[in-house]
Structure 1
Amino acid sequence: MRFRGKLVDVGCVANFTRVLNTIAKLTKTCTLHLSSDKLYFIVSDRAANGGVTIWCELVQNNFFDEYQMDGLSVEFNEIYLDIPPDSIARALKTAQSAKSVKIKLTKKHCPYLTLDVELASLLSHSRVVTHDIPVQVVPQQLWSDHKEPAVPDFDVSIYLPPFKTLKSVMDKMKNLTNFMVVQANQSGEMNLEIDTELVSVTTYFKDLGNPPWASVNWSQDRCHGRDPKAMAQAKVDTKKLLQFVAGQQINADKAVCNIVDKKLLHFILLHEDVTLQYFLPAVTM
């Protein structure tokens, strides 16, 4: 197996760094799936992560000037690696003014992702800072554990308010309870609610808009015939929800929340170069 990629454009390096920073805020370990045309950052170990699932998809030619990948075999031309996203994000901090960043799979006494960061220099020769980050190769028999999760058959789909606004609201609520109820309907309304023995607080959002999913291939069967004012809701872990909201650095063009009533929140961040999905299961109400 071989992998080698090179980022040259400063904007591409910055975008790639923001993706890694976002993933690092959500999980300590994830799986990097390399294919000939895309990269995926995946968290699918549901038992170990409290039910949270993450699927982040990048089109490689939107980031890399050079990209070479030879997978396990001609038939299975893919590579799966368990990686520490925080370590890669820290290495990329040195690359914000770099002339180029090379990322390659190497093997010394164990597999590494090696980052060669070429820094600009006043001298005639460039300086290269090398970061060796230990990784683990995922055997082929476990690849099926890292497939793209199915889009849920949701009851409500709604655009999210700005993340800065959501974070401000949640920061005020987080110390009052461990759980928060997210409600929304097909009329562009969303509520964040906490209810304890001592206090009840609800924040209301209006005119958010609902995605026109009828124009794409995602199911909207459960939305048809539903009262547009009827609220779907999910009670979720406040810490995990705030972790997702506070950790975003992708600058998504659109951010969507799908709600499976009393079962699941499914968030989608859509960017020109990146798509990130975050699945947060509901707790018993």
Structure 2
Amino acid sequence: MKFRGKIMDIACLNHFTRVVTTISKLTKMCVLRLTPDNLFFVLSGKVANGGVSMWCELSQANFFEEYQMEGVSSEDNEICLEVTPENLSRALKTVQNAKAVKVKLTKKHCPCLTIAAELPTLSSVSRVVTHDVPVDVIPRRLWHEFKEPSMPDFDVSIYLPPLKTMKNIVDRMKNLSNFLVIEANLNGEMNLKIETDLVSVTTHFRDLGNPPWGDDASQDGGPSQIRDPESMVEARVDIRRLQQFLMGQQVNPSKAMCNIVHQSVLHLILLHEDMSLQYFIPAVA
């Protein structure tokens, strides 16, 4: 197994750092899956993390000037590493003004992702800063746990309001309740609701729009059953999970949307031209 990559462009480095920092806000540990064309940050929905799962996909060509890897074998040309994204984020943040950053899979006292940055200098002597981020190599027999999740059989898909606005509302609601009901319909309307014995608060959004899912989407084109556009579909979720997602968001997506499986799953999607992030929050009764 071999992996080495080199980032030369400072905008690419900053963007890659923002993506990793976003991941670090969502989970303490995740799997970094390396393939010849892509990098994936994966969290599989285990009970230990509240059933939350995540799938973040990056095209390596949009970030790396040089990218070389050899997987476990020619048939299984992949590498899966368990990594603490916070450590990776911290290392990348210290080298933001570097002329070049090399990332390499190394074997020190344990397997590491070694980040070596060539920093600008006033003299002719080069300055190189190195960070070793410990990782665990995931054995081949466990790879099946880290495949792309299938698109849920959603009842409603809707574009999200500005994430900053949504975050401010959810932050306030969190002071009043541990759970939030998010409901939406096919008429571009979405409500955020909390209800307790003492208070009931609802925030309404209108004219958000509904994504035009094509034939390749879930269930042959999105919501298959003929649904009344005004009829609301809902999911009641742990408000901390939603707040975590909104707080960590640093990638400034070109599109943000959510799919709701009625009383089952909230599926959040952020799209950028060179990355996509999917986050699944299970509904609670």
TM-score, length of structure 1 as denominator length: 0.98
**Counterpart in 1 of 2:249?**
248
Whether the 8 Å contact between 2:257 and 2:269 is mirrored in structure 1 is yes
Bigger drift between 92-101 and 183-192 goes to 92-101
Cα deviations by residue, 1:157-185 (Å, 9 ceiling, x for unpaired): 00000111001111111010100000000
**Counterpart in 2 of 1:281?**
282
The residue type paired with residue 249 of structure 1 is Q
| Structure 1 residue 214 displacement after superposition | 2.6
**Counterpart in 2 of 1:98?**
98
Please say if 1:263 is aligned against 2:264.
yes
Give the 4+ runs in structure 1 shifted more than 6 A: none
Structure 2 CA distance for aligned equivalents of residues 283 and 217 of structure 1: 26
Cα deviations by residue, 1:80-138 (Å, 9 ceiling, x for unpaired): 00000000100011121110110000002210000001110111122111000110000
Q: 3-state SS of the aligned residue for 1:48? A: helix
Please say if 1:15 is aligned against 2:10.
no
Whether the 8 Å contact between 1:179 and 1:235 is mirrored in structure 2 is yes
Cα deviations by residue, 1:234-263 (Å, 9 ceiling, x for unpaired): 000000100101110111110010000000
Structure 2 CA distance for aligned equivalents of residues 201 and 114 of structure 1: 49
User: How many positions carry a matched residue from both structures?
Assistant: 284
TM-score, length of structure 2 as denominator length: 0.98
The residue type paired with residue 27 of structure 2 is T
Q: 3-state SS of the aligned residue for 2:218? A: coil
Structure 2 CA distance for aligned equivalents of residues 125 and 216 of structure 1: 55
Whether the 8 Å contact between 2:154 and 2:218 is mirrored in structure 1 is no
| Structure 1 residue 283 displacement after superposition | 0.1
Q: 3-state SS of the aligned residue for 2:21? A: helix
Alignment RMSD (CA, Å): 1.0
Q: Which consecutive residues of structure 1, in runs of 5 or more, have no partner in the other structure?
A: none
Alignment of 1:141-152 (within 5 A): 141-152=141-152
**Counterpart in 2 of 1:40?**
40
Q: Which consecutive residues of structure 2, in runs of 5 or more, have no partner in the other structure?
A: none
Whether the 8 Å contact between 1:94 and 1:117 is mirrored in structure 2 is no
**Counterpart in 1 of 2:177?**
177
| Structure 1 residue 215 displacement after superposition | 5.7
**Counterpart in 2 of 1:3?**
3
| Structure 1 residue 221 displacement after superposition | 5.1
Structure 2 CA distance for aligned equivalents of residues 105 and 45 of structure 1: 27
Alignment of 1:86-125 (within 5 A): 86-125=86-125
The residue type paired with residue 128 of structure 1 is V
Whether the 8 Å contact between 1:163 and 1:246 is mirrored in structure 2 is no
Cα deviations by residue, 1:44-81 (Å, 9 ceiling, x for unpaired): 05111101000000000000000000010111111000
